[in-house]
Amino acid sequence: MDQTKQQEEDYGYNLFPERTSGKVKKGSIAQSLFTFNHKCQVMLQFAIETSPYAKLLLGAMKSSGCTVNKDRHFSCEDCDGTVSGGFDATSSQIVLCQNNIHQQSHMNRVVTHELIHAFDHCRAHVDWFNNFKHLACSEIRAANLSGDCSFQNEVSRFNFGLKKHHQACVRGRALRSILAVRKVSPEEAEKVVDEVFDTCFNDHAPFGRIPHDKEDAKFAYREFESRGRYYANL
């Protein structure tokens, strides 16, 4: 990548001010008890213990040699008001925006979305900073598999009733994510998303299917666990 372009491109870090300042805060006891940070930590713990989406992704990453440690790989931070989370490839950390996540269902979706990026980072060695197609593919997969575009969530946004609505939702959310973290035109982003959409939309790893709701995710998780037991007995 051209050096001038690298200097101009901030890769979305401006949305995460604690990252750009180099001072990611680790809370005191008082902070952890009475602030957004405490609520974020509690919701994160609940998500990784109970969400079938998160449990499957964590298991798949462990099987791929990328065991996730909650204290090392998750960070609750204050962010720009337009984002809920992010995956920092330079530190292999998932950022959870404690000032923007207020409900457990939202936390579950954000954790799942970012864990899909982490899974891709682990299994596919994604070149986040230089290969635009890699970024677009992971954003398509995260929107498709995380529940971001579930029927329930789309109805809550008053978006429903269109033919192939799930695909349209995935495409739209992937485009918005790309435009939030890259200084490119909408036309450029659309071109790259179109080039990789079919391949990446149909890549359902590690779920084996699109988990359209929690029951789908539970079924995929049970299947994943059973597969692990089967291989262990071979």
How many CB atoms neighbour CB 69 within 10 A? 7
Q: What size, in residues, is the chain?
A: 234
Q: Which tokens is 185 given? A: 């035109």
- Give the whole-angstrom CA distance, residue 26 versus residue 32: 9
Indicate if the alpha-carbon torsion angle 68, 214, 98, 149 is positive or negative: positive
Q: Residue 79: name the closest of 110, 47, 33, 116 by CA.
A: 110
Q: Which of 9, 18, 49, 114 is catalytic?
A: 114
- Residue 116, judged by CB atoms within 10 A of its CB (0-12, 13-18, 19+), counts as buried
- Give the whole-angstrom CA distance, residue 115 versus residue 30: 29
Question: Helices (H), strands (E): how many in the chain?
Answer: 12, 3
Cβ-count burial 198-227 (b if 16+ within 10 Å, e if not): eebbebeebbeebbeebebbbebbeebeee
Beta bridge partners of 180: none
Give catalytic status of residue 18 as yes or no: no
The residues annotated as belonging to the active site are 114
